[in-house]
Amino acid sequence: MRFQFIIILFLCTICLGQFGNDQSITKTGTTVAQFLKIGMDARSTSMGGAVAGQNGNLSGVYWNPASIASFNGIGVQFGSYDWLVAMKYQFAIIGIDLGSKGVLGLSIVNLSSPDDLVRTVSEPQGTGEKFSTNDLSASLTYSKMLTDRFSLGGSFKYIQQNIWHSTSHTVAIDIGTLFQTPFYGTRLGASISNYGGKMKMDGRDQKISIDPDQDNQGNVEFVNAIYETEHFPLPLFFRVGVSGELIKKQNLKLSYGIDALHPNDNTEHLNLGFELNYREILFLRGGIPSFYKMDSIEGPTFGAGLNYHMTRTATLLKIDYSFSSYGPLGDVERLSIGFNF
């Protein structure tokens, strides 16, 4: 127990030391594909996203690819919920245990908006056309236990964003490690997410016809042109975390997680979370995301979970719920469902 508190104190000291530096320049709004920063599943988000050191959950393909190395069997997990401003967030994960060869994961994430009117300066009430937006990420993840305590994992992902007739796309990778220390079950995890190319919008929406010289008559009246758009980077961030059990009894377990994050488009911050586990059946969770993050509007998170062994089969049904508050933007409720075969 003393070792766990030393690790926690060490991690917090490093992070708070960084927070003491001048962070007046946050680079907020300088990256694209912001949907990549939305927490995927209900269990992890109910713990404030402090899961870099957790293991065995398929949602680790998002948080730390190395964490799925201890997954057994075949599993699926999916969820669909309303995101802010009437958007819809959906995800699905498939995990396959390859035995001594490791664990393979496939995942897809989609964020979409409902149709809205196309408005212009001359027609502010709408042109009669409608547009929508759609963000997509598809990932292939591989993770393997290199020793009985150390695992390594990585993901290759394709990323695409669409708005009306304009599209941008790129590829990126995630890399993670997870180490099970010999001290009271404490785990140390680290990951780098969204390391890849830049994105630039392109499509027929950028094509226009203009008169290059409106003062002269008789010249070429219209010239085809293209609006030039800039390249912007992905939201890259480094995550390091520690997790373990404060209470570990036969029917009751209290787990904690602390993650420190360094994003390229915001200030450093901590995610804090806990999980109360009763007989691997009932779960209560809570967390504090974005702790010490400048101008954060995120409030505490809460959630619960249920594991149910389906009769006459070896299938395990997992149902998780989480509640997150984003201040003036509203609240988000997530529901994730999973099956382990």
pLDDT tens across 194-249, in order?
A: 999 999 999 888 888 777 767 777 666 778 888 888 999 999 999 999 999 999 99
Top-confidence residue, 128 or 282:
282
Share of the chain above pLDDT 70, in %: 91
The answer, yes or no, to whether residue 13 has pLDDT greater than 60, is: no
φ/ψ of 169, rounded to 5, equals -155, 160
Query: What distance lies between CA 264 and its chain's CA centroid?
Result: 15
**Are the CB atoms for 289 and 258 separated by under 8 Å?**
no
Q: Residue 207: is it exposed, middle or buried by C-beta count within 10 angstroms (0-12/13-18/19+)?
A: exposed
Rg of the chain, C-alpha, whole Å: 23
| Amino acid code (one letter) for 85 | V
Please, what is the Cα angle at 174 between 173 and 177, to 5 degrees?
A: 145
**Are the CB atoms for 190 and 167 separated by under 8 Å?**
no
Q: How confident is the model at residue 94 (pLDDT cuts 50, 70, 90)?
A: very high
Top-confidence residue, 6 or 184:
184
Residue 249 backbone class (left: φ over 0; alpha: ψ -120 to 50; beta: rest): beta
**Are the CB atoms for 103 and 96 separated by under 8 Å?**
yes
Task: Report how far residue 96's alpha carbon sits from residue 61's, in angstroms, rounded to the nearest whole number.
Answer: 12
The confidence score (pLDDT) of residue 8 equals 53
In the chain the beta strands, taken as DSSP E runs, fall at 74-82, 88-97, 103-112, 116-117, 130-131, 133-145, 150-163, 166-180, 187-196, 202-203, 207-210, 223-226, 237-248, 252-263, 269-278, 282-291, 301-309, 316-325, 331-340
The confidence score (pLDDT) of residue 204 equals 85
Share of the chain above pLDDT 90, in %: 72
The confidence score (pLDDT) of residue 4 equals 53
| Amino acid code (one letter) for 324 | S
**Are the CB atoms for 194 and 265 separated by under 8 Å?**
no
- Per-residue H/E/C for 96-120: EECHHHCEEEEEEEEEECCCEECCC
Top-confidence residue, 295 or 91:
91
Residue holding tokens 């035995």?
99
Q: State the DSSP code for 294.
A: T
The confidence score (pLDDT) of residue 23 equals 52
The confidence score (pLDDT) of residue 2 equals 53
The confidence score (pLDDT) of residue 334 equals 97
**Are the CB atoms for 66 and 176 separated by under 8 Å?**
yes
The confidence score (pLDDT) of residue 264 equals 94
The confidence score (pLDDT) of residue 25 equals 67
Task: Report how far residue 50's alpha carbon sits from residue 63's, in angstroms, rounded to the nearest whole number.
Answer: 9
Q: Residue 100: is it exposed, middle or buried by C-beta count within 10 angstroms (0-12/13-18/19+)?
A: exposed
Task: Report how far residue 158's alpha carbon sits from residue 138's, in angstroms, rounded to the nearest whole number.
Answer: 5
Q: How confident is the model at residue 42 (pLDDT cuts 50, 70, 90)?
A: very high
Give the pLDDT confidence of 244-266 residue by residue, as tens digits. Answer: 999 999 999 999 999 999 999 99
Highest mean pLDDT among 123-127, 130-134, 209-213: 130-134
**Are the CB atoms for 317 and 341 separated by under 8 Å?**
no
Mean pLDDT of 123-146: 93
Which residues, in sequence order, are bridge partners of residue 209? Answer: 224
**Are the CB atoms for 295 and 268 separated by under 8 Å?**
no
**Domains in the chain and their CATH numbers?**
2-18+30-248+261-340 (2.40.160)
Mean pLDDT of the chain: 90
